[in-house]
Amino acid sequence: MSESLQYPHRRFNPLRRQWVLVSPHRTARPWQGEVNPTSGFSDVHYDPACYLCPGNTRAGGHLTPKYESVYVFDNDYAALLPDSPEPQRRDAPELLRADRERGRCRVLCFHPDHSLTLARMSVPDIRRVVDAWTEEYRTLGAEPDFRYVQIFENRGPMMGASNPHPHGQIWTTEHIPDEPQAETDSLRDYRATRGTCLLCDYAALETREKVRIVAQNDSFLAVVPWWAVWPFETLVLAKRHLRSLLDFTDAERDALAGILKQLTTRYDNLFETSFPYTMGFHQAPTDGDPHDEWHFHAHFYPPLLRSATVRKYMVGFEMLGMPQRDITPESAAERLQSLPETHFMDRR
């Protein structure tokens, strides 16, 4: 890596067409800020008070069946509703604009065992989650009122997870949300001007440079992207140009399960804790257009910075100016890549 990159500089994110400030010299500063409790692992396989454990009554009063694999249901306290009315009259002031947003919110339990996380699940079990994600994307994306299907997981209380049971969410929206819309515009413009796929080209570049790769298999590449904002942020890229989960072969579904296992295990091994993060897939909108410009990828946004108890906050300059990070993406990738693929709890 160039010596000049050890000094403050900014990097461009071509997906969002935004800049991030990198300040490597700040890693030496003392920390007297908030210290959070560690995210420990549970040894409770069934919690009678957990509304996602098999056979329990959920917070909304519905009974969770005694499922043995994955389980999907409509969120009892959904942020979106399929029949929302128009929010205001037609003659409302332009500066007070509001639009209707219909949608559905689904919850996907990854496993009946309350104690597990993706990092602690087997690859075959994660593959069943991949199959469920694929079917949800297929089914929800076919509904004519919804133009985007967002699959995501909030892992750990630090990221706002309201329940420790292994689960994720799937939201559908009437309009394409801001983040995937910005990526759609960037991918489409890049293809129109260069005739190639932005993320295909980026994956090829990272494969050549090798300095930001964390893990890979035959079908997927996990890197700390050049433009990473969060300390140990990663981007999981399909090596083949796949628009969505629906384009995957059987082998690629296995490979996605495998790379998720590799990456989340390395996260846990970094500080030997149950590593918090927000993870989500970005893939082709379901608005009826072919979206040949789209390239399937996953974003991992983990907050931990120095240890299992010190997190990165997006405040001050980050909120008022632009995103900023301390450690370089290259040093973050080197640390993650050097970690073993065997979970630290299994090594004990």
Q: Among candidates 114, 94, 105, which has minimal Cα distance to 46?
A: 114
CA distance 68 to 182: 39
| Structure tokens that stand for 118 in this block | 């993706």
Sequence-distant (≥ 6) Cβ neighbours of residue 247 within 8 angstroms: 296
Q: Distance of alpha carbon 10 from its chain centroid, rounded? A: 24
Q: Are strands 234-238 and 213-216 parallel, antiparallel or unpaired?
A: unpaired
Residue type, 91: D
Nearest-angstrom CA–CA distance, 17 and 150: 21
Contact by Cβ (8 Å): 111, 68: no
Residue 295 falls in the annotated catalytic set = no
- From the candidates 111, 167, 295, 299, give the one annotated as an active-site residue: 167
The identity of residue 77, as a single letter, is Y
The catalytic residues are 167
